[in-house]
Amino acid sequence: MPGHSPVLRLYWLSVRLLVVLLGTLAVATFSLSAFALAPLHSWLLYGDWRFWRHWHNFPRLTRQVRRVAFKLAREPDYRGMTAFMSASDWLGPPMSAPDRSLVTVRADWPHAAGTCGSCGRCCTEIGCPSFDPRSKLCASYDSPFWRYFPCGRYPATQAQIDYYGCPKWAMLADALAMEEAGREKVRAAAPPLR
């Protein structure tokens, strides 16, 4: 991971471990620890210290932690495609968008590159309680949790794109290869120069 100091990487790792610890505690205490540390949970999950605006969601989020843990334990497909389990991601910087050296927006994506239109598959597929199916918006969007964990860096692999059937993103290498194949086809069909 060039360009990032070991101190910074350790800091990022520490934030992630703290979130995992808090999530585990919340599961073990049936959300009681989340209520006891409400401002911290509120900031991590919603980027907002005003916990009274969000704490009605804490029990649902605790159930989601349990559900994701079960999926990781029981579903090899889910475990295989979850990028944040790789060591480099645990030590990597928080992100608010996927790595554009790995993925690109598909040429046939009908919406602006910065939006997911009316999709939401990667949120609904795992039943995320932060996603509002009516507004199609995520209440945790760009929060520390969102940036430090998979949401902010999705997608990074073909397996992730396939798992959610994402209609927006494609692996950059595949998109470039398809472009080149298209150019080759046009060249082959063009009449020869005299």
Site of interaction with ligand SF4 (CB under 6 A): 116, 119-122, 164, 166-169
Nearer to ligand SF4, 46 or 109 (CB): 109
Measured from the CB of residue 72, what is the shortest distance to ligand SF4 in angstroms? 19
Find out whether 138 and 146 touch, Cβ atoms under 8 Å.
Answer: yes
Dihedral pair phi/psi, residue 71, rounded to 5°: -60, -45
Nearer to ligand SF4, 51 or 169 (CB): 169
Measured from the CB of residue 100, what is the shortest distance to ligand SF4 in angstroms? 14
Measured from the CB of residue 144, what is the shortest distance to ligand SF4 in angstroms? 20
The whole-angstrom separation of Cα 72 and Cα 166 is 20
Nearer to ligand SF4, 148 or 169 (CB): 169
Work out the angle between the directed axes of helices 6-28 and 38-46 (0-180°, nearest 10): 120
Q: What token pair was written down for 157?
A: 């692999």
Nearer to ligand SF4, 77 or 180 (CB): 77
Q: Please choose, from the candidates 97, 101, 99, 78, the residue with its C-alpha nearest in 3D space to the C-alpha of residue 141.
A: 97
Measured from the CB of residue 103, what is the shortest distance to ligand SF4 in angstroms? 10
Angstrom distances, CA of residue 106 to CA of 69, 113, 137, 185: 31, 9, 22, 20
Nearer to ligand SF4, 35 or 174 (CB): 174
- Other CB atoms within a 10 A radius of the CB of residue 69 amount to 13
Measured from the CB of residue 114, what is the shortest distance to ligand SF4 in angstroms? 11
The whole-angstrom separation of Cα 81 and Cα 99 is 16
